[in-house]
Amino acid sequence: MPQIAQRSLGQRGPTVSALGLGCMRMSFGDRPIGDHAEMVAFLRAAVERGVTFFDTAEVYGPFTNEALVGEALAPWRGQVVIATKFGFRHDPVRGPHPSSGLDSRPEQIRRVADAALARLRVDAIDLFYQHRVDPAVPIEEVAGAVQELIQAGKVRHFGLSEADAATIRRAHAVQPVTALQSEYSLWWRVVEADVLPTCEELGIGFVPYSPLGRGYLTGAINEHTTFDASDIRSRNPRFTPEAIRANQGVIALLQRIGDRLGATPAQIALAWLLAQRPWIVPIPGSRQLSRLDENLGAAAVVLSADDLHEIDTMMAAIPVQGDRY
């Protein structure tokens, strides 16, 4: 297994590749989803390139994404880190689905963990996130349930997703939180106010999802790009033709820095994230080897203090248009 840059996922977390791989779109989301055999081969190619951190969830599919990841990564059991998630209510017909509501009751967490172990083909879940905070279940109960799973040897690390600073602290007081996963990118920086400082104080790793702004920061999307009705971007305010056109200044900035450093806009966007904290591990999603190789190349891009200052100064002057949802 070749080596790329490695990072520790916070003070308590495992050492993983500096860039992980978000697996959701391999079997869930916008059409067409990936062919199963091709996605197995793709995941194995990622390992061969040095990726050791993979992100999935029971709701992706549902269930099929965990099964895909489990099958593809079975030859490297114990050598890679797989994160999965619990937290959505199980509809009697279609299983867990975001529209079915939340369910983080302790008994549900235990059921999800047992099922995920089988689908992932592992003895213990490396990192078990609460997918979204459930206001009907005190976070202390959630943390306690995961703590019991850790004590039973079924889970190694506890994570939260899209939790605010106060919730992180409450959970951490019961069971130390290893990692927080939330959206974070050059054009969505809300977590910088309270969440990142809380993670730094408590020694919690941070895993940005949508680190490339759902593809916008690659520079491959313009006002003429169309999206299938199954694609979340078809309903996303940041992906209307007007917003895409208005936000082109962000791409121009990334292109200018990239031209200077011999890198693509996507690589600059990812390198910027890596430069924010040494315990940040982005998980860009991909289904193409060319994109995977491009993303992994970001780990070798070094942004100087002047580069970072230029990016921050210019971004402060660009009024990004459109809400994220």
Report, as residue numbers or ranges, the catalytic residues: 60
**33 within 8 A of 61, measured Cβ to Cβ:** no
d(Cα 146, Cα 169) in Å, to the nearest integer?
Answer: 16
Neighbours of 181 (CB within 10 A): 25
Other beta carbons within 10 Å of 151: 10
Residue 293 is encoded by which pair of tokens? 């190789």
Q: What's the rounded Cα separation, in Å, for the pair 40 and 63?
A: 15
Residue 188 β-bridge partners: 185
Residue 6, CA distances (Å) to 19, 228, 274 in order:
8, 36, 11
69-92 in b/e form (b: 16+ CB < 10 A) is bbbbbeebeeebbbbbbbbbbbee
Closest CA relative to residue 162, chosen from 200, 187, 140, 134: 134
Burial of 282 (0-12, 13-18, 19+ CB in 10 A): buried
Cα end-to-end distance, the chain, whole Å = 38
Return the structure tokens found at 257.
């820095």
Q: What's the gap between Cα 99 and its chain centre? A: 20
